Amino acid sequence: MTRPRNTAILASACIALSVLGPALWAQEAAGTAPTAAPGAAQDGSAVGGIVQSGAVPAPAAEPAPPTAADLAKRYGTIPEQGGLYLQAGFYQLVDALGLAVTLPEWLVVLVALLVVCLLVFGFINVFALFAVWLERKVSAHIQCRLGPMEVGPHGLLQTIADGIKLTAKEDIIPRLADRPLYILAPILVFTGVLIRFVPLPFGQHLVASDLDLGLFFVAAVGTVEVIGVIMAGWSSNNKWSLFGTIRTATQMVSYEIPIGFAFVAVIACAGSFSLQDIVNQQRGWFWNWYVLVNPFLTILSIVYLTASLAECKRAPFDLPEAESELVSGFHTEYTGMRFGLFFLSEYAAMYLVSAVAVVIFFGGWWSGIRPLDDIGMSPGSPPAAAIAGFLLKAAVFVTKAVVLVFVQVWVRWTLPRVRLDQMMHLCWKVLLPISLVCLVGSTLWQMASGGAGLYGIPALLGLGS
Amino acid sequence: MPDIKTEEMLLNMGPQHPSTHGVFRVVVRTDGEMVLETESHIGYLHRCFEKVAENNNYLQVVPYTDRMDYLCAMANNLGYAQTVEKLMQLQVPERAEHIRVIVTELNRIASHLMAFGTYGMDIGAMTPFLYAFRDREMILKIFEKLCGQRLNYSYVRIGGVTFDITDEIVADIARFCEYFEPSIIKEYNDLLSYNGIFISRTANVGVLPVELAISYGVTGPSLRGSGLKRDLRKDEPSSIYDRFEFDVPVGTGEMGTIGDCWDRYMVRIREMTESVKIIRQALDALPPGEFCDKKAFRGVKPPKGEVYHKVEGARGEVGFYLVSDGTNKPYRVKARGPSFSNISVLDALTSRGDCMVADMVAIIGSLDIVMGEVDR
């Protein structure tokens, strides 16, 4: 076979760009043009203002003269939220270099899009490399083995070596496969995971595009992945793949429902769909995290974590890939980088569900220790503090997500696999009723208690928030 | 709601499939995830053991028996050696008898460990497999020290065993017993046996009623899982098994119905404890003296006649039927592999219409077959 081996990865990058692009563009259109007001490109707090009492009007409305040479303004801050504002900084940089005058506006936006896309794409790739290594190491140590040790220190570069190997593999398409679908499927699956990264923050204001309907977007576009999986299994023309496909479709569609209810409960508490706002609501001590705000949300977080295992097709819900039953399910026939894309999307999805859990239940980028979180958050803090606070928050966020990824790995290498009927039983007869009750309970609790953290105990003790 | 008629699918499971434990093929008629009917096909590993045996002398047959049940080769060696000895009326030295019991029981543990590990893997838990291999490795190391082999030992031969057991190996075995029982068995139980998901996957699945088991000739742990206390070591003790104290664990339907997959699985776990008991007693009683009949080692020529003898292997009754025409080569060797009878009951268990594809994997695993023995 002399097919270009990287077609798949290039094509998916294109799709990712095309999907990320309009999302950001739409927001640009709603916001301000880069040349108009530096430091006020977009503002997520406009939505947050709904629940934040006394929120000042969004800076977009303020007339700010472009004083591009000023360093403090280049890393502009938002009064009521504080912290470093990267996108504003980007436009200030453009202004500072005088590019806004010489370059057309669309080009600046396009460059911004490309930078954001490549950053997100690069993060997913690097994280997947790390996660594969982590999984192999953790599983090895759970199983009294060493795991990869040869390539790099403690086998850190093993995944890169494996990735290179994958690209060098022969790209096989079975003779009786449905070629267009077969080729499209891995791209679609990868895209389905990738576009969910659009509203996902990596830190405060560190987000490809803070969509107003962020959480809804995450839940909705995730279904694209299911379509890709069905295409993969069907087009392979393999009965085992078909089994895996049907199982995947059943499983992912079912488990989206408890996840949806968990989302709705959090949205009801936060009063916003925006992931930035949801995190900002959890500012303060760790008892303001939604997981500790009321007992129903605590239960819902467990429901979400369980269902997200199923959503990622991870053990004990790895039926679609059930190695001992279906060999590898829907991607049995895939080789080389096409298989690599499935693999990559699995690990990207692991990070994704963990990051969403961090956002909606575990306080996002807030470390849960108030003084630590306040670094660089006051309007007048020096740029160094702002940058330090910004980096700290990004580190806190990613660390929390990695811890949850570790939990997923831990669970996978400990538990056996459930059967299809047991999985459906768990979803429809256990998780769904629980999540429904918790949705109602959480909303009522929120109304009664006013949303004080840790079931309202610190507030009773006068500890503040 | 009107009856929607969906098409059935014919699924070919094997000969290359991770859960058929070798080259075994099952043609499965499925309706969605439900298995309607299965048809087993064997013979992918046939090596004409019985015919080959006719062209070799009695001593040369021993290595072929290793390759029948390669996970419990000692029991096959033992079965064959004792059959020839029975034909020749040959008395084996006391020390050799003890060594035979020790190595057979050790190998039974190794084999059950393999069954435990692969069963966990069939159900979807990878980690027990590696745990089992960690401990099986210790037994294989002992065997390596004993006879230089890790899998196909040819250690038990006509007239005794090939090498004497040294004090160092005795200490190794004692240390293994100390390490293994009860703490490691408890670890297995915590990790897999009493895991909720594992129980829900195996309890009430693949119930094998005792009558059905007997009618198919199922033996060994698979039969005992159905609740019948049948163990050749107790019922027809061939070697010196009647001198040792041990229990025969049977399935009790603790988690579901008597004879389900969990019972068959648990019988193996409990048998490991019993095997350790036997090894400890045999080590204590190990007498000094010869470890083999040197004369028999140089070649045997049994008298004319025929004999059938069976011993309890890890998977059931290992039987050898031997016809001698008075020469140094057997006229006919017929081997009874327990896996062959055990696998024959599979279709009866999976064709009842209450079995899912995932259950089929659980049932095949719980019967613990070795294809080398099925096809011979």
3-state secondary structure of A181: helix
Amino acid identity for residue A310 in this structure? A
| SS3 assignment, position A202 | strand
Quote the CA–CA distance of A451 and A455 in Å, as a whole number: 8
Average pLDDT value for residue range A141-155:
86
Length of chain A: 465
Q: A9 falls in which pLDDT band (50, 70, 90)?
A: very low
First-to-last C-alpha distance (Å) of chain A: 63
Q: What per-residue confidence (pLDDT) applies to B140?
A: 92
Contact between A242 and A178 under an 8 Å Cβ cutoff? The reply is no
Residue A398, pLDDT > 80, answer yes
Q: Which of A419, A422, A424 to mutate to test the interface with B (most CBs of B within 10 A)?
A: A419
Give the contacts of A142 (CB within 8 A, at least 6 positions apart).
A410, A413, A414, B127
- pLDDT score at A59: 43
Residue A7 confidence (pLDDT) above 60: no
- Token reading at B48: 């004409």
Among the listed residues B239, B193, B219, B255, the one whose alpha carbon sits nearest the alpha carbon of residue B339: B219
Per-residue pLDDT band for A454 (boundaries 50, 70, 90) equals low
Nearest CA in chain A to B29: A239
State residue A19's pLDDT score: 52
Query: Whose structure tokens read 């059943």?
Result: A250
Q: How far is B184 from chain A (nearest CA, A)?
A: 14
pLDDT at A1: 38
> Can you give the pLDDT at residue A108?
74
ipTM > 0.85 for the complex: no
Q: Is B19 in the A-facing interface, judged by CB distances under 8 Å? A: yes
| Minimal CA separation from B365 to chain A, in Å | 10
Of the candidates A217, A220, A224, the residue with the CA atom closest to the CA atom of residue A192: A224
* Enclosing H/E stretch for A442: helix A432-449
pLDDT, residue B276, reads: 92
pLDDT value for A85 = 58
Residue A10 reports pLDDT greater than 70: no
pLDDT: is A371 or A95 the higher one? A371
Examine the pLDDT at A285 and tell me if it is beyond 70: yes
Mapped onto helix, strand or coil, the DSSP state of residue A445 is: helix
The two tokens of residue A272 are 């916003």
Q: What kind and span of H or E run contains A206? A: strand A206-207
SS3 A207: strand
- Model confidence at A51, pLDDT cuts 50, 70, 90, reads very low
A contact residues 307-326, partner B, Cβ 8 Å cutoff: 315-316, 318-319, 322-325
Instruction: State residue B11 phi and psi, 5-degree precision.
Output: -115, 135
Q: Is B151 on the interface with A (CB under 8 A)?
A: no
Name residues 95-124 of chain B within 8 A of A (Cβ). 120-124
Kindly report which listed range (A114-128, A164-178, A397-411, A451-465) carries the lowest average pLDDT score: A451-465
Q: How far is A419 from chain B (nearest CA, A)?
A: 7
| Whole-number Cα distances in Å, A62 to A40, A57, A73, A96 | 8, 8, 14, 20
**Which of A423-427, A459-463, B19-23, B200-204 has the least mean pLDDT?**
A459-463
Contact A325 B32 (CB under 8 A): no
How many Cβ atoms from other residues are within 10 Å of residue A448's Cβ?
A: 10
Tell me the chain B residues in contact with residue A417 when contact means C-beta distances shorter than 8 Å.
123-125, 197, 201, 358
B125 contacts A419? CB cut-off 8 A: no
pLDDT at A180: 87
Show the CA angle centred on residue B241, arms to residues B238 and B246, nearest 5°. 140
Q: Does B199 touch chain A (CB under 8 A)?
A: no
With CB atoms and an 8 Å threshold, state whether A418 touches B126.
Answer: no
Q: Output the six-digit token pair for B216.
A: 């198919």
CB contact under 8 A, A422 and B130: no
B127 touches chain A (CB under 8 A): yes
Could B126 and A143 be called an inter-chain contact, meaning their C-beta atoms sit closer than 8 Å? yes
Alpha helices in A97-213 (DSSP H): 99-102, 105-142, 158-168, 179-194
Mean of per-residue pLDDT scores for chain A: 75
Q: What is the pLDDT of residue A460?
A: 66
Instruction: Tell me the shortest Cα–Cα distance from A420 to chain B, in angstroms.
Output: 8
Structure tokens at B98: 């003890």
Distance of CA B65 to the CA centre of its chain: 13
What tens-digit pLDDT sequence spans chain B (376 residues)? 567 677 788 888 878 887 777 788 888 888 878 888 888 888 888 888 888 888 888 888 888 888 888 888 898 999 999 999 888 888 888 888 899 999 999 999 999 999 999 998 888 888 889 999 989 999 999 999 888 888 888 888 888 888 888 889 999 999 999 898 888 888 899 888 898 899 998 988 888 899 999 999 899 899 998 988 888 888 888 778 888 888 899 888 888 888 889 999 999 999 999 999 999 999 988 888 888 877 777 778 888 889 999 998 888 899 999 998 888 888 989 998 899 989 889 888 888 878 888 888 889 889 888 888 888 8
CA dihedral (B283, B284, B287, B288) in degrees, to 10, reads 80
Torsion angle, alpha carbons of B195, B197, B199, B204, to 10? 180
Domain boundaries of chain B, sorted by first residue: 49-375
Return the pLDDT at A459: 65
The pLDDT tens digits of the residues spanning A193-231 come to: 888 888 888 877 777 777 778 888 888 887 888 888 888
pLDDT for res A174: 85
Which residue has better confidence, A5 or A165? A165
Neighbours of A174 (CB within 10 A): 16
User: B166, exposed or middle or buried, with CB in 10 Å at 0-12, 13-18, 19+?
Assistant: exposed
Average pLDDT value for residue range A373-393: 76
Cα-atom radius of gyration of chain A, to the nearest Å? 23
Which residues in chain A have Cβ-Cβ distances shorter than 8 Å to B33?
Answer: 243, 247, 420-421
The CB-side HSE value for B275 (13 A sphere, CA atoms) comes to: 28
Report the chain A residue with the minimal C-alpha distance to residue B118.
A324
> Which chain B residues are Cβ-neighbours of A144 within 8 angstroms?
130-131, 134
DSSP H helices, A195-293, are 214-221, 223-235, 239-270, 275-280, 290-293
Q: Which of B9, B130, B358 lies closest to A239 in CB terms?
A: B9
Model pLDDT, residue B328? 86
Which chain A residue shows the shortest CA-CA distance from B365? Answer: A324
Q: Residue B9: its chain A contacts at CB < 8 A?
A: 239
H/E segment holding residue A201 = strand A201-203
Predicted pLDDT of residue A101:
67
End-to-end Cα distance, chain B: 52
Candidates A325, A421, A422, partner chain B, best to mutate (most B CBs within 10 A): A325
B359 close contact with A: CB closer than 8 A: yes
Strand A201-203 and strand B330-336: the pairing is unpaired
- For residue B120, the distance in angstroms to the closest alpha carbon of chain A comes to 7
Please report the residues numbered 210 through 249 in chain A whose beta carbons come closer than 8 angstroms to any beta carbon of chain B.
Answer: 239-240, 243, 246-247
Q: Is residue A418 less than 8 Å (CB to CB) from chain B? A: yes
pLDDT value at residue B326: 84
CATH dotted code for B49-375: 1.10.645.10
CA distance A337 to chain B (A): 24
CB contact at 8 A, B288 and B262: no
Residue A369 near chain B (CB below 8 Å): no
- Distances from the Cα of A420 to the Cαs of A41, A127, A221, A331, B151, in angstroms? 49, 31, 25, 19, 37
Is B17 close to A143, i.e. CB distance below 8 A? no
In three-state form (DSSP H/G/I as H, E/B as E, the rest C), the secondary structure along chain B is CCCCCCCCEEEEECCCCCCCCCCCEEEEEEECCEEEEEEEECCCCCCCHHHHHHCCCHHHHHHHHHCCCCCCHHHHHHHHHHHHHHHHCCCCCHHHHHHHHHHHHHHHHHHHHHHHHHHHHHHCCCHHHHHHHHHHHHHHHHHHHHHCCCCCCCCEECCEECCCCCHHHHHHHHHHHHHHHHHHHHHHHHHHHCCHHHHHHHCCCCCCCHHHHHHHCCCCHHHHCCCCCCCHHHHCCCCCHHHCCCCCCCCCCCCCCCCCHHHHHHHHHHHHHHHHHHHHHHHHHCCCCCCECHHHHCCCCCCCEEEEEEEECCCCEEEEEEEECCCCCEEEEEEECHHHHHHHCHHHHHCCCCEEHHHHHHHHHHHCCCHHHHHC
List the structure tokens of B172.
Answer: 């190794």
- Residue A99: what pLDDT? 67
Looking at chain A, the whole-number percentage of residues with pLDDT higher than 70 is 74
Cα(B60)–Cα(B299) distance, rounded to whole angstroms? 10
Residue-wise pLDDT tens digits, A82-114: 555 566 666 666 767 766 667 777 777 787 778
pTM over the 0.90 mark: no
Which pairing describes strands B25-31 and B330-336: parallel, antiparallel, or unpaired?
Answer: unpaired
- Highest mean pLDDT (candidates A134-138, A390-394, B352-356): A134-138
Tell me how far apart the alpha carbons of residues A75 and B48 are, in angstroms, rounded to a whole number: 81
- Number of residue pairs across A and B with CB atoms under 8 Å? 80
- The percent of chain A in helix, strand and coil, each rounded to the nearest 5, is 65, 0, 35
CB contact under 8 A, A144 and B130: yes
Asked if B16 reaches chain A (Cβ–Cβ under 8 Å), the answer is no
Contacts of B131 in chain A (CB under 8 A): 143-144
Per-range mean pLDDT, top range of A365-374, A406-415, B5-14: A406-415
Residue A415: its chain B contacts at CB < 8 A? 124-125, 195, 197
Name all contacts of A263-267 with Cβ < 8 Å and 24+ positions apart. A263/A215, A263/A216, A263/A218, A263/A219, A263/A360, A264/A439, A265/A296, A265/A297, A265/A300, A265/A435, A265/A438, A265/A439, A265/A442, A265/A443, A266/A215, A266/A290, A266/A297, A266/A300, A266/A360, A266/A361, A267/A215
Facing residue for A415 by CB, picked from B9, B17, B197: B197
